[in-house]
Amino acid sequence: MSIWEYANPTRFMQTSGKLLPLVSVLSFACLIVGLVWGFFFTPDDYRQGSTVKIIYLHVPSALMAINAWMMMLVASLIWLVRRHHVSALAAKAAAPVGLAMTLIALITGAIWGEPMWGTYWAWDPRLTSFLILFLFYLGYMALWAAIENPDTAADLTSILCLVGSVFALLSRYAVNFWNQGLHQGASLSLDKEENVADVFYFPLLVSIAGFVLLFLALVLLRTRSEIRLRRASALISRERLS
């Protein structure tokens, strides 16, 4: 039993079919608990007032926006090395989800920034690098959409993902050099003594779990429909030949 068994589409469809309802229900449960707890049962921050509560959407979506790209990078590498079609389709499926996460992070950040910084948008390094990440997602999806042959499309988008990762990372540090930021440092980290206060911390963890599971559910769902789409087009072309 190894993970490579799931490279077989039939095997993947079986397991993901069982997994999908479970993951979706868990994700909705976590999201509802995390968001309701966060929005209604935590105190207001003494400086930021109730605007602090946008953290329950902003932080998890920003986290997933970056992790979605990481997942695409790993899936692209697997496709380039081992040529498993499920892997390429999973990378394709993750891109729009990652794009949506980036957009949520940008929009919630803008909504929070208006009362706090007095502006919806500032050319702050973190904000700018997220905008750049957004553009990378757009380019990646446009390349997928433009190429007809699915294998060539998977190859080329994988290469783009590899090169893009390097340059996205480079941009991340370049913008630090370019402008000093308004954005605060990381709110959560594993090696730091001081994180956000516990009252905010636990609901935040629950909603992060909800977002991770939501991402997983959406990617599984989209990968399944990509596989079905691939099967349908194979059937159609076989029909046409006979």
Q: Which is nearer to another protein, 59 or 175 (CB)?
A: 175
- Using CB under 8 A as the criterion, what x/- string covers residues 140-169 for binding another protein? --xx--xx----x--xx--xx-xxx--xx-
Q: Which is nearer to another protein, 22 or 163 (CB)?
A: 163
Cβ 122 to another protein, closest distance in Å? 16
Q: Select the residue interacting with another protein from 1, 2, 177, 240 (CB under 8 A).
A: 177
Encode 193-231: b = buried (16+ Cβ within 10 Å), e = exposed.
eeeeeeebeebbebbbbbbbbbbbbbbbbbbbebbeeee
- DSSP lists the bridge partners of residue 207 as none
Cβ 204 to another protein, closest distance in Å? 31
Q: Select the residue interacting with another protein from 174, 182, 212, 221 (CB under 8 A).
A: 174
Side-chain-facing half-sphere of 62: CA atoms under 13 Å: 21
Neighbours of 104 (CB within 10 A): 18
Q: Select the residue interacting with another protein from 12, 69, 79, 136 (CB under 8 A).
A: 136
Query: Among residues 77, 69, 95, which one has the least CA distance to residue 169?
Result: 69
Side-chain-facing half-sphere of 174: CA atoms under 13 Å: 10
Backbone angles phi, psi at 183, to 5 degrees: -65, 140
Tell me: does residue 175 bind another protein (CB under 8 A). yes
Tell me: does residue 178 bind another protein (CB under 8 A). yes
Q: Which residues bind another protein (CB under 8 A)?
A: 132, 135-136, 138-139, 142-143, 146-147, 152, 155-156, 159-160, 162-164, 167-168, 170-171, 174-175, 177-178
